[in-house]
Structure 1
Amino acid sequence: MDAITQQRSRLAGISDGSHYGREKLSPTSTTQLQPILDESGNNALTHSSVWSNETDKTNKTDSVSNTQFLAALFGNTKSDHCPILVSFPGHPGEVPGGAWMGHPWKENSPELPEANNNYFSLAVFRPDEAGIYRRQKARFMALHAVMLDDIGSKVPREHLTLPPSWLLETSKGNFQAGFILKEPITDGTAADRLMNAIVTAGLCDPGANGPRARLARLPVAVNGKHEPPFPCRMETWNPDLRYAVKELADGLQLDMTTTASKRRARSPDNHDRHAERDPVWLPRPDENAVLAGLRDRGLYKGPLGDGKHDITCPWVEEHTDNLDGGTAYFEPDDNWPIGGFKCLHGHCAHRHMHALLKFLGVDAHAARMKSIIRVVPGALDRIVDAAERELVQTRRHYQRGGLIVTVVTDPGTRETRVQEISQPALVRALAGVATWERYDARSQAWVRTDPPERPVNVLFNSEEYPHLSVLKGLTRQPYLRPDGSLMYRAGYDEATGMFGVFNERAFAIPDHPTRDEADAAAKLLMGLLSEFHFANAHAQAAALSAILTAVVRPSLPLAPMFHVKAHVLGSGKSYLCELITAFATPQRGTPTTFPADDEECRKLLLAELLRAPAVIEFDNLTSDLLPHKSLCTALTSEFMTGRILGVSKTATVNTRALFLSSGNNVGPVRDMTRRCITISLDPGCETPAARSFERPDLVREVLAERWRYVSAALTIVRAWIEAGRPKIECKSLVSYDDWSDLCRQSLMWLGFADPTNAIFESMADDPDREILGRILLALNAEFGNAPTMVRDIVKRSEHSVDDMSSEGELREVLHDIAFERGGINRRRLGWWIKRHEGQIVNSLKFVRASGNRSAEAWKVESV
């Protein structure tokens, strides 16, 4: 009788009250056998809908106890042939090896705790001479069932072509499917052959071989790998649905003629079921096959940390006095690609990792715990996609500004920075994250290879990366989330795109800081500033605001620049910048010279911002802080774009860095005045460099207890937020609303002066603004509000003979604006007026005159 006829006979037996294959229905059965034929009478063995939720609602059950379940599988076994149960609480990866030893199950055994990880062996075993049961090949008696794992996650449910005897949900959307055998398999080799065929078909984890010792989960249990533990749920329970080996082979489309390892090597069109679904990318197995094998054999003891595990030596019987100790397994890493094995006993000195793999029956690929990327012709897009996905899994690679980057720490300076990946470095990274294979026609097998040049080029030069997370920047201390709460966790945060490089336990900020705690924190920080002589209270508040900005800059889209100014050398400008830098990063600052032009400035800023520096500092300026277009963009835009040197790419980088500068008697001019806060120092002595300081190692002190001072700065900001964000009335600072709240309002709330006072003073004292005011007054005196051509303005100034007249003032200011080659350049003057159109000074402004004129006319309008 063939399999289909048997299934139809079984259905007929159910319909008339008789039963197929057994004299009576098992008392443990809680549901009726599901139909094997569809509504049209067709064979349903190859239709997954026969056991899906949509077509059969009657065979669900949550009421099967572990005893009922085990009795249905093993009720007819001999009294001394028992399955072995394993039960323990917590995460399976963190329990000692002894917890996996287990104990035999008999019909009178007590129920296992429901809150434990509860497993049972699919086979029964006989006891040894001492009456102890062990899951060992030597004690194997019969295999009663087989189990398919990861149904619904790794293996889609539609690929399961036979209705299972039981279907157990072990995590959300992930199932174990079990098939009870009609006749238990007592031949161990035949049992191995059946499970190897299932593994080869892609219906089971390739690392989960060794079926004679294999464990499956019981229905009443939890999966401790999840937090909180996931309670297992029986979705389908048909204990009378049993299969012969041939029925399993036919229904699951198994090849019983070869082992899994041989079948995988036959040809690129005839590999395992997983590869048929995706011949390019075979993801890394979820479970370490070596650890699984050690646990299955009762050899695992416990983790030692850093990827090391304490185990019992498989050859412990050869040790002197059978001593069990001094043996370890090391998980794979860059130095040991298949892992490591070390036993300190002399009898095992010649045994290494390959000996352990041979003992466990694990091949080298499974031991590597790496995904496989296969170089298949015509699948370039999928190969590149798989390569990018593998980079994501490392949690060390990100995208920033259109480039693939990683976070590195300089071994010399100990500075942590973002480093773009070069093309050779990308090849090395891809070789490390996955095993690359190509098909060799001569050997008719997949063989290992290096990452091919073309996929690497395509990935490196891609315009976008759909899988790599965006790295917005680095932070060297806890940082504020958008809602104002603190993020204490180091590493990459998907929500904010920030990467924290700090000791999570070092900082101490109250959960709900009060005004008193904020006052104490401000007093501590002011103690650091007592060494400096500020020109006024506003300058002191500006210095304190710079400290707060240094701490919270990673959380701010925008922040103004800070410029430290003094009249003479030795006033402490660079030292104050160094102190402020210590609040942004634990590394010493590396100041640079101010760029001479905008092109130089753009190249410098793009190169620096790609590294996600905490601070960009321009030291000892010899000219005013000029408004280079790139610098202005970096200070008022969250991103800036430009072409990266050495790479044929245009990158867009985040501007989240603290900008500092210093210089004697120089400061921001024109467009920089509203983007830069000046901190003025005035030592009040003839030779400031000769002064002595009470705390000469101030910066070193701050770096030594950086956690303390940074925590104080964060306490001030958090206390202001906890107080309900109270606002003190003040002038608005356009573009810097978020910064003004956290680093300006928080200080004014504590009674400090407005730290932005210098901005408004600089804007009023701006030389460019002064010249604009002079020409507006002179033109208003000469022409009133009448529309006037540029040529008429120049002509009027040339007729003046009295320098004290309005014409004389006009001639002088035009000379300052557009004098060139012995006269006034009218085109240059027209451009200057156009650039200042609408800007109000002294209640006057330039307005473009309307009307049909061959040249532009301007008038001065009173506001």
Structure 2
Amino acid sequence: MLQNDSRQLTQIKLGMDERSVNDKVIRALADRGDIYVNGGYLCTLGTDSDDRVIVRRLHRASVRETISQTVRFTEVLSRNGKEHPVARRVPKWCHDAIQQRGEWDGIPSLRGIVTCPVLKSDGTILQTEGFDPESGLYLDLKEAFPSISQNPDRATVEASVKMLADVVDDFPFAQPVHRAAWLALVLTPIARQAHDGVTGPLFLIDANTPGAGKTLLADITSIIVTGKDVARISAPASDEEARKKITTLADKGEQIVLIDNIAGAFGSSSIDAALTGTMWKDRRLGSQELIEAPLNMTWMASGNNVALAADTARRVCHIRLETSHENPEERTGFRYPNIKEHVKSQRPGLLAAGLTILRGYIAAERPNQSLKPWGSFESWSDLVRNALVWAGEPDPGETRQQIRVLADNDRDSLHMMIEMLETIDPNENGLQASELLKIAKGETGGFDDCEVERLCESIESLCEQSMKSVTPRKLGVRLSHFRNRITSNKRLDFRTSRGARYWFVQPIEAEGRRSPSEQHINEQS
């Protein structure tokens, strides 16, 4: 946090070597101990209305003011044959150059602020308040958390699972696997810093009727992790609206977000991209400023009998609530009548229980549970899913099989493949399955990162496997399965040459001409 105290000012003489002066100023800023780099900008820490630590970016005026609180500039002037040091204000060239430098040697990088103990990338637990240089995280604690063992035994892990499950005993999970999916939701944000790749799938809290407890379940999850109710947004009406909301949330550094009360079909290419990305780039709302922020948030969504687009469905872990009560909001006799207050009072122990499960699995040297691959979420799956199954819970990934009834996977997978094939092969020259795989793996030049990523997603969706499991033969079989099926007035077809199939997209308005698949192109020398 900015400190306006009686700190000793660093004396720096101005000279013609501006870079040397700026380097000295940066060293002085680094020595303060309260200046950081976050998202490519200098920042400091402050507090919000709830006395929570927040990141405050140093804009131009703030950089100048901070330098003036840190450095005393002098210029040596000669008078009557004698040199006299004269105090000077912060030069414009100095604060402008420092603000725009992009790299500031000695000033630590701040990856984010967490409000509870979390796993670090080395698998140990961050539980000391303040800034941790190794992880780049600032731990903002407002409660006393119990000390968490780095080597919990199996009995302690099982007791931790039971403790968390006890909190949601009143919720009508459709099956035990849906409760396991909720446990995965609790573990996801506290495991975020311990694995590479994306944060995890979207957790859909879905019910058969209103009043079953969807939003309440989301709130108590957020209270366990952050100490407060979950940040809510309404379901975006368009992809443009979704993009703007994601930009705002990423810029704020939210840990957990709920897309509340979804009505109708749910799916958005921007949300899909946020779920399978690690960084978000966009212009800050109301300005031309381009921001780049990490995507560390855990996504939740809630609704009744939600219909999902296939692209989104494969990114969803399903938490299904089913009640036999016509008016479940009128139920009585709960084990914890005021569940939110109970969770708040027990938060340190509940959070410690989640970390104990994860740490126990890591201390056991992460035994492989032989789970089915989950494309795009491999690193999350390797830690969170495996830890829960190792602890004796059902595999949360099995909810993917059940949620497929909520989406037309074939139609949407074909639509995405046709869209991508048109993009990368606009002249209908045709591409072999092996060529498509090389492009999707980034092994072929001439395509931008967005095209490569989108093609990779379309192949994974079409084949229902992660890229590392897809072979040219498997992809060819799936393409053949969809051949000549019409979607959006287009169809997938192939032409042959030298015994190989070259896949392309054909508009159906070309029906009057001879189908290229009926033409055999003579082998070329």
TM over 0.5: yes
Letter of the 2:158 counterpart: D
More helix by share: 2
TM-score (norm: length of structure 1): 0.47
Partners of 2:250 and 2:44 lie apart in 1 by 14
Aligned to 2:471: none
Q: Tell me which of 34, 38, 47 is aligned to 1:409.
A: 47
Relative to structure 1, is the Cα distance of residues 647 and 396 closer, same or farther in structure 2, using a 3 angstrom cutoff?
farther
Matched, 1:423 2:69: no
Partners of 1:513 and 1:715 lie apart in 2 by 7
8 Å contact 1:550–1:581 — kept in the other structure?
A: no
Partners of 1:394 and 1:623 lie apart in 2 by 53
Aligned to 1:616: 257
Aligned to 1:564: 205
Partners of 1:569 and 1:421 lie apart in 2 by 45
Cα RMSD (Å) = 3.4
Instruction: Report 1:318-467 matches (<5 A).
Output: 334-335=4-5, 337=6, 369-376=8-15, 378-410=16-48, 412-439=49-76, 445-467=84-106
Matched, 1:511 2:135: no
8 Å contact 1:563–1:667 — kept in the other structure?
A: no
Instruction: Report 1:137-216 matches (<5 A).
Output: none
Relative to structure 1, is the Cα distance of residues 420 and 682 closer, same or farther in structure 2, using a 3 angstrom cutoff?
same
Relative to structure 1, is the Cα distance of residues 416 and 772 closer, same or farther in structure 2, using a 3 angstrom cutoff?
closer
Letter of the 2:494 counterpart: R
8 Å contact 1:550–1:583 — kept in the other structure?
A: no
Aligned to 2:170: 531
For residues 487-516 of structure 1, the C-alpha deviation after alignment (integer angstroms, 9 at most, x for no partner) is 333322232222222369623222321111
Partners of 1:560 and 1:772 lie apart in 2 by 18
Matched, 1:573 2:214: yes
8 Å contact 1:556–1:656 — kept in the other structure?
A: no
Matched, 1:689 2:332: no
Relative to structure 1, is the Cα distance of residues 598 and 423 closer, same or farther in structure 2, using a 3 angstrom cutoff?
farther
Matched, 1:639 2:279: yes
Aligned to 2:248: 607
Partners of 2:89 and 2:227 lie apart in 1 by 40
Q: Percent of pairs identical after alignment?
A: 23
Relative to structure 1, is the Cα distance of residues 650 and 382 closer, same or farther in structure 2, using a 3 angstrom cutoff?
farther
Letter of the 1:388 counterpart: I
Partners of 1:701 and 1:632 lie apart in 2 by 35
Partners of 2:275 and 2:503 lie apart in 1 by 40
Instruction: Report 1:96-175 matches (<5 A).
Output: none
Partners of 1:502 and 1:584 lie apart in 2 by 11
8 Å contact 2:371–2:386 — kept in the other structure?
A: no
Give the secondary structure class of the aligned counterpart of 1:565.
strand
Letter of the 1:387 counterpart: V
Partners of 1:855 and 1:601 lie apart in 2 by 29
8 Å contact 2:113–2:139 — kept in the other structure?
A: yes
Q: Tell me which of 273, 281, 294 is aligned to 1:654.
A: 294
Give the secondary structure class of the aligned counterpart of 2:69.
helix
Give the secondary structure class of the aligned counterpart of 2:231.
coil
Partners of 2:9 and 2:385 lie apart in 1 by 51
Partners of 1:728 and 1:566 lie apart in 2 by 30
Moved more, 597-606 or 842-851: 842-851
Give the secondary structure class of the aligned counterpart of 2:299.
strand
Partners of 2:387 and 2:503 lie apart in 1 by 54
Letter of the 2:4 counterpart: D
8 Å contact 1:402–1:650 — kept in the other structure?
A: no
Letter of the 1:767 counterpart: D
8 Å contact 2:184–2:384 — kept in the other structure?
A: yes
Residue 696 of structure 1 deviates from its aligned partner by 3.1
Unpaired stretches in structure 1, ≥5 consecutive residues = 1-332, 338-367, 777-789, 791-832
Letter of the 1:405 counterpart: C
Q: Tell me which of 515, 537, 555 is aligned to 2:194.
A: 555
8 Å contact 2:119–2:190 — kept in the other structure?
A: no
Letter of the 1:381 counterpart: R
Partners of 2:305 and 2:202 lie apart in 1 by 17
Give the secondary structure class of the aligned counterpart of 1:592.
strand
Letter of the 2:238 counterpart: D
| Number of equivalences | 439
Give the secondary structure class of the aligned counterpart of 1:445.
strand
Moved more, 843-852 or 491-500: 843-852
Q: Tell me which of 684, 698, 701 is aligned to 2:339.
A: 698
Partners of 2:84 and 2:414 lie apart in 1 by 83
For residues 499-536 of structure 1, the C-alpha deviation after alignment (integer angstroms, 9 at most, x for no partner) is 22236962322232111111111111111011211111
For residues 541-569 of structure 1, the C-alpha deviation after alignment (integer angstroms, 9 at most, x for no partner) is 10111111132223343211212111322
Residue 765 of structure 1 deviates from its aligned partner by 4.3
TM-score (norm: length of structure 2): 0.75
8 Å contact 1:419–1:611 — kept in the other structure?
A: no
Q: Tell me which of 478, 483, 495 is aligned to 1:849.
A: 495
8 Å contact 1:563–1:677 — kept in the other structure?
A: yes
